[in-house]
Amino acid sequence: MSVTSGLYRITTHLSPNPAIGVDPRTRSAVKQVIVVPPEFPPPGSTWEVRQEDGQFYLLAVDGANARPEEDKVNAYYGQPGEMWKIVHHPLRRGYVVLSPDESLAWHLPNSEYFTQVELKPLGILPGEGYYFNLERLVE
């Protein structure tokens, strides 16, 4: 399954499959990309996915562009975003989000609310914390 440009909800494969996003109530130019509680307003977990070149995408949530910051993923207002590679794994029925050089992948150590998305090497047998669902939203 390929990803096309549009609006998406990104959820983790970790039970109970919570959404990934930012806290839209925080007034900061930099926000952590986190597991969001269900009571957050929809803009906090609505992702704009823009295909740039083949499997490379710009990802923005609540108008902020996703970029790495050391070993975490943050969203930045008014700054360029990182190009991410989104790869579908049919056997796991999910997607992996990789850095452009494919050396690091988005990873969630657990599904507790406010847990920040980390960047880690994918490894040979990645666990469920590396897999995400991309649910296309009606625009």
What is the value of pTM for the model shown?
A: 0.93
DSSP 99-119: -TTSS-EEE-S---TTPBPEE
Tell how far CA 82 is from the center of its chain. 12
- The mean per-residue pLDDT over the stretch 16-26 comes to 92
What 3 state SS string does 11-70 have? Answer: EECCCCCCEEECCCCCCCCEEECEECCCCCCHHHHCEEEEEEECCEEEEEECCEEEEEEC
| pLDDT tens digits along 37-89 | 999 999 999 999 998 777 799 999 999 999 999 999 999 999 999 999 999 98
Q: Calculate what percentage of the chain has a pLDDT beyond 70.
A: 99
Supply the pLDDT for residue 18: 94
**Phi, psi for 65 (deg, rounded to 5):** -85, 130
Q: Which of 76, 97, 79 is nearest to 88 (CA)?
A: 97
| 6-136: CATH number | 2.80.10.50
Mean pLDDT of the chain: 93
Residues 6+ apart with CB under 8 A from 59: 47, 48, 49, 50, 65, 66, 81, 82, 84, 97
The answer on pLDDT for 1 being more than 90 is: no
Distance CA 59, CA 92 (A): 22
| pLDDT tens digits along 85-103 | 999 988 878 999 999 899 9
Q: How confident is the model at residue 139 (pLDDT cuts 50, 70, 90)?
A: low
Supply the pLDDT for residue 136: 94
Supply the pLDDT for residue 55: 75
Distance CA 46, CA 119 (A): 21
Q: How confident is the model at residue 6 (pLDDT cuts 50, 70, 90)?
A: very high
**What is the residue extent of each domain of the chain?**
6-136
